Amino acid sequence: MTRVDITRWKADLPAIFNRLCNEIRINDTIVDWIDIIFEQVGNASKCPPHSHTWFEFNYVLTGQLQTRFHDRLVTINEDDFFLIPPGMIHSHIYKNDNPHEGICLRWRIRQPDDQDGNDPFFDELEGLRHWKPGGYADQYGIKEILLHLFQEALSGRSDLSLQLILIRLLEALTRIAQSEQLVSVESSGPRDQLIKKIEVYLEDYQGKSFNVTELAASLHMSYGHLCRLYKQRTGITLIERMNQIRLEKAAMLLQDPASLLIKEVAESSGFPDIYYFSKAFKKHYGLSPVAYKKKHENEGVSKV
């Protein structure tokens, strides 16, 4: 996957995808496409817990993000995908140092009012409501279907032809679900209550001196075991996550028009060394704290 590919797709395909966002009828099933978009995260660091009334499918083309399904935090890497059925509560943490780009599809299904409801295809699509939460490595040919969709769209194929490729994607997902062979990219269960406890601890200590040994002792395990478990389940180290939380707090403070001096922002966020703070902030957000603050001040003025 090259940067040129994604840049071209993001420039040329949205207008075509917008045309596809309507209803298509297959047998006695109506699929209503709500969105077909390339994700634009921008400067956001997270998306809070929420749910939808529609199905949402996400395929990561490059980069990485973390998604929490109920109490389970999963790292989603390049060429992984996940499906969110209606009503499933989930949230996201975005990796500013390795931002993801991906394709997101949203749809609803229904049957015409004049039908008796007996359609196997509708039943198969309804079965996706029971999709097992998690991130999945693409061993199923999903990427090939998506690339085919992109290529056909760029070549000027008809909207109907493109919508039929989208139906192929839904059929592939139903076959995967029925095979009961989904292999999660990161298995979990009750043990991820541990991750929740760690996150609470980190949030509480974001403005203080962070002591991993103290955290490990509070959870009745060794320092080394705790660090290994956290890295294995989240893809990042405890120190990296602590710094993410502190940098997120610093960014929020810098967005306030009446914010503190840079030195005071650093100290309030748990960075006693302003040089280290400035270096870490620029690496995370692509701008120095001063430039970040000025950018948001200018944006505030332009909205007045």
Cα separation, 237 vs 202, whole angstroms: 12
pLDDT of residue 304: 43
Q: How confident is the model at residue 154 (pLDDT cuts 50, 70, 90)?
A: very high
Is residue 252 over pLDDT 50? Answer: yes
pLDDT of residue 260: 75
Provide the CB-side half-sphere exposure for 109 (13 A, CA): 21
- Tell me the range of 16-30, 70-84, 107-121, 206-220 where mean pLDDT is highest: 16-30
pLDDT of residue 32: 96
pLDDT of residue 81: 95
Check if the beta carbon of residue 191 is closer than 8 Å to that of residue 200: no
pLDDT of residue 239: 83
- Residues contacting residue 120 through CB under 8 Å, at least 6 positions apart: none
Cα separation, 44 vs 285, whole angstroms: 10
Average pLDDT, the chain: 84
pLDDT of residue 37: 95
Buried b / exposed e along 5-20 (16+ C-beta atoms within 10 A): ebeebeeebeebbeeb
Query: What radius of gyration do the chain's Cα atoms show?
Result: 22
Mean pLDDT of 91-114: 89
Q: Is 19 helix (H, G, I), strand (E, B) or coil?
A: helix
Q: Which domains can be identified in the chain, with CATH numbers?
A: 3-179 (2.60.120.10), 190-302 (1.10.10.60)
Helix axes of 238-255 and 193-204: crossing angle, nearest 10 degrees: 50
Please spell the DSSP secondary structure of 59-118, one letter per residue: EEEES-EEEEETTEEEEE-TTEEEEE-TT--EEEEE-TTS--EEEEEEEEEE--TTS-S-
- Tell me the range of 48-62, 67-81, 143-157, 249-263 where mean pLDDT is highest: 143-157
- Cβ atoms within 10 Å, residue 79: 16
pLDDT of residue 190: 42
Q: How confident is the model at residue 152 (pLDDT cuts 50, 70, 90)?
A: very high
Check if the beta carbon of residue 79 is closer than 8 Å to that of residue 122: no
Kindly report whether the global pTM for this prediction surpasses the value 0.85. no
Cα separation, 216 vs 47, whole angstroms: 28
pLDDT tens per residue across span 73-102: 888 989 999 999 999 888 898 887 788 999
